[in-house]
């Protein structure tokens, strides 16, 4: 009876694990596919930007430079690249097969959509390569004129391989859970039924999408307590795997919010000035174009930082004073609109070492936070100071923070209270960028009120 009961327990546990693993595998595949398509879209736009001048002039030397970039991208593990002219003729490919050059790609649906000005993405079976491909096609634009198209394709089997690696870890945890369930069935056949029912309900709750579902590890026999803890470790692992997929989107969306706000403000002012001051409207549209270019730079910086992982992104020499003045100039219209005096005190030039775009992003986040807590009539001051280790400080006159709040200020998603605006990622991103740049960031209270956020850099 005991062995039959153990077998029944193990079968039920295996079925429950199967119920949660099948939808989880599909979810992980969907997330991984979305991540791949997003990366391909970003890379396609970067290649399109590089190819713009070459497609305008059709100069052989410039096309050769674009082809070299496509080959480097392919060699680095990127997708297969095809760049066509406006008539669909292939001008650049990343393949060794030279016969592809000059071929007519206009019959490919994704190329046709890109040549019509539409971003196309999805997956389809390639009869030429005899494999399922993920593709992204974007137009190459010069102003409003379409010059051609860039298509990137990637073997969809890579997605299945990545998901398979993640499922191996989940499978090991599931196997351990199954073994623990069998032991509990042998030793505590009298109590296991009730406890297993609770665990099954919790597992089904987790499989239904409630990632906060956990088993109670405080009651029952020691073996069942260990089983509950094993289940919770598995649930924590699953939650961590999913959070990893969400982390980049969350950080990137927060990083893009501040420049998008500035861009929207410039466009709104340009709209208001179209009739009364066309020249002023044109100036603001030009500034909006610069801000849009900066958005692309920020995205590239985030992706580079994410790819670097444990190895880290190399630091470069940057002019701290120049960057601080440029960012204060960009934020000044929003500060004026809020009735806040935004000023800067900086030497003419001060070179430090940092990850590319890190200083811009850190300063944007800190100024954004300072303006958010400032009231009309307050002042926000940016100070760049030379020394053995140069510093960048932002002083505000907001409500400040308590000791407990200062201790948690750099925790991800912590916002200091339910009424505090934002996502709670700003200072966490500042801390991560500072770490990647070899810098140090700290918060300190100012008298009589306010905060001083200080970043200390290594000199260049």
Tell me the per-residue pLDDT of 390-409, one tens digit each, with 9 for 90 and over. Answer: 999 999 999 989 888 888 88
Give the contacts of 259 (CB within 8 A, at least 6 positions apart). 291, 294, 295, 298, 364
* Residue 418: predicted pLDDT: 46
Distance in angstroms (rounded) separating the CA atoms of residues 90 and 295: 30
End-to-end distance of the chain based on CA atoms, in angstroms? 75
Tell whether the model's pLDDT for residue 130 goes beyond 50.
yes
Least confident of 171-180, 210-219, 231-240, 313-322: 171-180
Which range (117-121, 130-134, 316-320, 321-325) has the least confidence? 130-134
Q: How confident is the model at residue 272 (pLDDT cuts 50, 70, 90)?
A: confident
- The DSSP H or E segment spanning 151 is strand 145-155
**Whether the predicted pLDDT of 140 surpasses 50:** yes
State residue 444's pLDDT score: 94
> How far is Cα 410 from Cα 305, in angstroms, rounded to an integer?
18
pLDDT of residue 253: 66
More confidently predicted of 141 and 165: 141
Beta-carbon contacts of residue 136 (< 8 Å; ≥ 6 apart):
37, 40, 41, 44, 79, 110, 119, 120, 121, 151, 152
For residue 325, pLDDT over 80 is answered with: yes
What integer pLDDT is reported at residue 416 of this predicted model? 64
Q: Which residue, 250, 251, 246, is CA-closest to 432?
A: 251
What was the pLDDT predicted at 339?
94
Can you tell me the mean pLDDT for 211-221? 78
Residue 54 is predicted with a pLDDT of 85
Cβ(377)–Cβ(449) under 8 Å?
Answer: no
Residue 300 scores a pLDDT above 50: yes
Q: Which residue has the higher pLDDT, 347 or 294?
A: 347
Where do the DSSP E strands lie in 64-144?
A: 80-85, 90-93, 120-126, 131-142
Q: In sequence order, which ranges of 338-423 are alpha helices (DSSP H)?
A: 358-373, 403-408
Top pLDDT among 353 and 429 is at: 353
pTM beyond cutoff 0.85:
no
């Amino acid at each position: 009876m005991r062995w039959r009961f153990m077998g029944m327990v193990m079968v039920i546990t295996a079925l429950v694990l199967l119920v949660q693993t099948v939808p989880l595998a599909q979810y992980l595949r969907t997330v991984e596919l979305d991540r791949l398509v997003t990366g391909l879209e970003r890379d396609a736009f970067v290649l399109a930007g590089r190819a713009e001048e070459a497609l305008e002039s059709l100069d052989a030397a410039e096309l050769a430079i674009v082809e070299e970039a496509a080959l480097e991208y392919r060699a680095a593990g990127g997708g297969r690249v095809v760049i066509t002219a406006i008539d669909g003729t292939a001008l650049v490919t990343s393949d060794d097969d030279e016969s592809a050059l000059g071929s007519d790609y206009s019959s490919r649906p994704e190329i046709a959509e890109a040549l019509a000005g539409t971003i196309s993405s999805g997956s389809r079976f390639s009869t030429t390569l005899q494999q399922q491909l993920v593709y992204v096609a974007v137009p190459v634009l010069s102003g409003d004129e379409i010059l051609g198209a860039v298509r990137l394709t990637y073997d969809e089997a890579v997605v299945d391989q990545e998901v398979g690696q993640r499922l191996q870890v989940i499978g090991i945890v599931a196997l351990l859970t199954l073994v623990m369930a069998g032991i509990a069935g042998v030793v505590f056949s009298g109590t296991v039924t009730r406890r297993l029912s609770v665990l099954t309900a919790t597992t089904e709750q987790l499989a239904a999408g409630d990632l906060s579902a956990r088993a109670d590890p405080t009651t029952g026999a020691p073996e069942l307590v260990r089983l509950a803890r094993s289940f919770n470790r598995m649930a924590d692992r699953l939650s961590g795997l999913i959070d990893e997929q969400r982390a980049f989107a969350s950080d990137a969306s927060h990083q893009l919010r501040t420049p998008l706000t500035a861009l929207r403000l410039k466009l709104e002012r340009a709209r208001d000035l179209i009739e009364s001051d066309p020249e002023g409207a044109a100036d603001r549209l030009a500034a909006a174009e610069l801000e849009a270019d900066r958005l692309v730079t920020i995205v590239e910086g985030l992706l580079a930082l994410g790819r670097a992982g444990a190895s880290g992104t190399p630091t470069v020499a940057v002019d701290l004073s120049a960057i601080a003045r440029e960012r204060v100039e960009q934020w000044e219209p929003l500060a004026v609109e809020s009735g806040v005096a935004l000023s800067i005190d900086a030497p003419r030039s001060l070179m430090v070492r940092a990850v590319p775009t890190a200083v811009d992003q850190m300063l944007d986040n800190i100024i954004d936070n300072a303006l958010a807590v400032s009231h009309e009539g307050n002042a926000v001051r940016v100070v760049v100071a030379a020394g053995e280790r140069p510093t960048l400080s932002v002083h505000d006159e907001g409500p400040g923070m308590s000791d407990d709040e200062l201790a948690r200020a750099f925790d991800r998603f912590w916002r200091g209270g339910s009424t505090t605006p934002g996502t709670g990622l700003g200072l966490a991103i500042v801390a991560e960028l500072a770490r990647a740049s070899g810098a140090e960031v700290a918060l300190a209270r100012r008298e009589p009120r306010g905060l001083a956020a200080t970043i200390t850099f290594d000199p260049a």
